[in-house]
Copies of this chain bind each other. A is one copy, B any other.
């Protein structure tokens, strides 16, 4: 299986490369060096060369990487060159905010359906999508060939929603609820809890403010 060959850390960096490369392409810049990539993305150039070497020999010494070619390769690796439909469950503030991001997903990956269990939400519109009741989830997932689910429901409902999504045939879940989901091994789950982002950021705060020395 491919997912065993490339480390998760590398897979998580590829979309970051892609975003920057798309930005370069919009500015009609045709080549980029690992030094430039490293400087912009706060990564070691050797790390970037190593990451990209997993997928073949892209770079040209002294010239750098061909931007359109690298974009095409990364899109293919990430399966972004095929249509991937996404379902979102939980039409609260966060769910609405994420649905609004749809406009940035220029790619073939789109939120195509939104669900909620709260009756007053059902039938309301978020952009072009109408919030549907949970009992329509399985049939909508099947009809639209949806493969990824986003969970933006409260903590105590997240496991139940995950079970429903998996039962409906979803292959991967992006979970925004601050709980660790119990899922079968073939279902990939990424936790998008923003508290972990914030906590890892704290590590990089400058030393010296109300702090003693560290022993490590």
Q: Which residues of A contact B (CB under 8 A)?
A: 1-3, 6, 8-9, 11-12, 14-16, 18-20, 23, 40-42, 54-56, 76-80, 82-84, 86, 92-94, 96-98, 100-101, 104-105, 107, 109, 145, 147-148, 150, 155, 171-174, 178, 180, 186, 188-207, 209-211, 214-216
Contacts and interface: CB of A to CB of B under 8 A. Distances in A.
A76 B197 CA distance: 16
A20 B14 CA distance: 27
B11 A77 contact: no
A150 to B, nearest CB: 8
Given A94-B93, A97-B94, A205-B79, A200 B148 contact: no
A203 B79 contact: yes
Nearest to A82: B210
A163 to B, nearest CB: 17
Best-buried of A54, A172, A192, A200 by chain B (most CB within 10 Å): A200
A189 to B, nearest CB: 8
Contact of A196 (B19, B83, B188, B191): B19
Contact of A202 (B78, B101, B197): B78
B209 A56 contact: no
Contact of A203 (B14, B86, B198): B14
Contact of A19 (B76, B92, B193): B193
B148 A202 contact: yes
